[in-house]
Amino acid sequence: MMKLHTQTLSELSAGLERREFTSVELTKALLDRIATHNDKLNVFVTITKDEALAAAERADAARARGDVGALNGLPIVHKDIFCTRGVKTSCGSRMLDNFISPYDATVVEKLAAAGAVVLGKTNMDEFAMGSSNETSFYGPVKNPWNLDCSPGGSSGGSSAAVAARFAPAATGTDTGGSIRQPAALTGTVGIKPTYGRVSRYGMIAFASSLDQAGVITRSAEDAARLLGVMAGFDERDSTSIDQPVPDYTAEIGRSIEGLRVGIVRQHFDAGLDEQTGVRVKEAIAALESMGATTVEVNLPSIDLSVPTYYVVAPAECSSNLSRFDGVRFGYRAKDPEDLLDLYCRSRGEGFGDEVKRRIMTGAYVLSAGYYDAYYLKAQQVRALIAEDFKRAFAEVDVIAGPTAPAPAFRLGDKVDDPIQMYLNDIYTIGANLAGLPAISVPCGFVDNLPVGLHLVGPHFAESDLLRCAHQYQLQTDFHRACPEAFQ
């Protein structure tokens, strides 16, 4: 039997179908692998061994009955931001270290209904605020390609889990790049769909108008498969969009002949690591060789995306995180003297520095006298950025560029410099501000660290992004490369 952990979701699916192995065997193999290697990487907040084995048994029984869901018996991991009934849902925070969710997120429910087996909940930046996984209450995740480096963030546990072959697929969430940047830094595929494509119900909110769930996998084909299950309207989320979900796996097979690829000049400015830029340009050249045409497009307001984001996201987070007050759930300070003391110490002790920084920034930009100058202005700029993209997509089908300015950085390098850390998301934030779908695909290495190619499309163009990524992966094998220590 071929090593199970090296196979993609699609390959494993075929193996299960051919009865080469059972879901229980597959689940046990991966759980063993996790037990052996997790300590090196700190990927998991919770390993759900018993639940996983029970789910695998149910999947095998379902298969025996001929009753198989789209993901029957296939192992996945969830970012610990998704509420899972009866299982700790920490959001990477001390605040929720004791929180056992009484319900399942819609994403969790849908994947379970399709037969997926959940191996555990992955580590993440606290409340998804961070780009390196260093803000987690549970300590940083390490990059499987270099244990001294960050796997990116905030979905760093999910990206590391997939890169280290702990699981073929992981869920993630992306508010400013939190799926795509970790995917780029770990040599995996990460897609953030159109805002509203996947339900946010049960996904602990960071910045509601930017948050979107997506997946991290090794192949675009697997991403298409998972996304097809996760996407769709949810009456419990008013911002989810009621539009049919295409069969992404059927659409990825078509050639990209004639696909118009936009290139944004600013994305290759001084902020970009030179070698990273070379890899990305090679990838774009490869797309051209496959029949795509490139066009330079102009996004005049894109340089304002980072400051805009760091007004809008903290504003929303300052309000979203108000419910963590020590009263009904989560961390509660010991022996409070009075109500104010209960609030101040529960929040003071329960939240980490980065979360506090953003709450305070957010409260500031929303406060009387500053609202117009910051929040309102940022919303206006946000509209301009969305307008830029709209104009660009009148001329091109996708926009290609680097996902992150450089390969994985060393843990500790940027942790004391929030601005440097924030700049890691400079290429990804625009898609969140405009609600656009975007994907990161492995496109080579710099000093044995992976580099990601970033593709952004117009609203609901997930099919084009997945197709472009899949066709590219048919011509390349960067996504098949496995970190030395995790063969």
Partner 1 sequence: MRAGWEVVIGLEIHTQLATRSKIFSGASTAYGAEPNTQACLVDLGYPGVLPVLNAEVVRMATLFGLAVNATVARRSVFARKNYFYPDLPKGYQISQLELPIVEHGEMMISDADGNEKRIGITRAHLEEDAGKSVHEGFEGQSGIDLNRAGTPLLEIVSEPDLRSAKEAVAYLKKIHTIVRYLGISDGNMQEGSFRCDANVSVRPLGQQELGTRTELKNLNSFRFIEKAINYEIERQVDLIEDGGTVVQETRLYDSDKDETRSMRSKEEANDYRYFPDPDLLPVEISDEYIETQRRTMPELPDAKQARFENVYGLKIDDAAILTASRALADYFEEVVKATEASAQIAANWIIGDLLGALNREGWEIDDSRISAIDLAGLVNRIHDNSISGKIAKQVFEAMWEGEGDADAIIEAKGLKQITDSSAIEAVVDKVIDANPSQVEEYRAGKDKLMGFFVGKVMQETGGQANPGQVNKILKDKLKG
Q: Hey, which residues are catalytic here?
A: 79, 154, 178
Q: How many residues bind partner 1 (CB under 8 A)?
A: 45
What's the CA gap between 247 and 98, in Å, rounded? 39
Alpha-helical segments (H) within 148-265: 156-163, 180-186, 220-230, 248-251
Task: Tell me the DSSP string of 261-285.
Answer: EEEEGGGGSTTS-HHHHHHHHHHHH
User: Applying CB under 8 A, does 308 fall inside the site for partner 1?
Assistant: no
Nearer to partner 1, 127 or 427 (CB): 127
User: Site for partner 1 (CB under 8 A): which residue of 29, 290, 363, 383?
Assistant: 363
User: Applying CB under 8 A, does 322 fall inside the site for partner 1?
Assistant: yes
Cα 462 to Cα 62, 83, 188, 356: the distances in Å are 31, 25, 17, 35
Q: How many residues does the chain have?
A: 487
User: Applying CB under 8 A, does 209 fall inside the site for partner 1?
Assistant: yes
In the complex, minimum distance from the CB of residue 219 to partner 1, in angstroms, rounded to a whole number: 29
Nearer to partner 1, 133 or 173 (CB): 173
User: Applying CB under 8 A, does 366 fall inside the site for partner 1?
Assistant: yes
Peptide bond into 154 cis (omega under 30): yes
In the complex, minimum distance from the CB of residue 258 to partner 1, in angstroms, rounded to a whole number: 36
In the complex, minimum distance from the CB of residue 43 to partner 1, in angstroms, rounded to a whole number: 22
Q: List CB contacts of 195: < 8 A, sequence separation 6 or more.
A: 209, 210, 212, 239, 432, 435, 436
Q: Tell me which stretch binds partner 1 (CB under 8 A): 82-90, 222-230, 414-422, 443-451.
A: 82-90
Q: Tell me which stretch binds partner 1 (CB under 8 A): 150-158, 315-323, 393-401, 470-478.
A: 315-323
Q: Which helix (H) or strand (E) holds 216?
A: strand 212-217
List, in sequence order, every beta strand (DSSP E) within 56-115: 75-79
The HSE-up count of residue 118 (CA atoms within 13 Å, CB side) is 27
The HSE-up count of residue 334 (CA atoms within 13 Å, CB side) is 0
SS3 assignment for 158-183: HHHHHHCCCCCEEEEEECCCCCHHHH
User: Applying CB under 8 A, does 367 fall inside the site for partner 1?
Assistant: yes
User: Applying CB under 8 A, does 328 fall inside the site for partner 1?
Assistant: yes
User: Applying CB under 8 A, does 207 fall inside the site for partner 1?
Assistant: yes
In the complex, minimum distance from the CB of residue 337 to partner 1, in angstroms, rounded to a whole number: 12
Nearer to partner 1, 99 or 478 (CB): 99
User: Applying CB under 8 A, does 201 fall inside the site for partner 1?
Assistant: yes
User: Site for partner 1 (CB under 8 A): which residue of 29, 343, 349, 386?
Assistant: 343
User: Applying CB under 8 A, does 327 fall inside the site for partner 1?
Assistant: yes
Binding to partner 1 by CB under 8 A, coded x per residue (else -) over 88-127, reads: -x-x----x--x-xxx-x----------------------
In the complex, minimum distance from the CB of residue 117 to partner 1, in angstroms, rounded to a whole number: 22
User: Applying CB under 8 A, does 274 fall inside the site for partner 1?
Assistant: no
What's the CA gap between 368 and 428, in Å, rounded? 31
Nearer to partner 1, 101 or 219 (CB): 101
What's the CA gap between 63 and 208, in Å, rounded? 38
146: nearest Cα among 415, 442, 406, 410:
410
- Contact status, residue 9 vs residue 74, Cβ threshold 8 Å: yes
Alpha-helical segments (H) within 406-478: 418-422, 429-434, 462-475
In the complex, minimum distance from the CB of residue 98 to partner 1, in angstroms, rounded to a whole number: 12
- List contacts with partner 1 (CB under 8 A): 82-83, 89, 91, 96, 99, 101-103, 105, 200-205, 207-209, 235-239, 315-316, 318-319, 321-325, 327-330, 339, 343, 363, 366-368, 371, 375
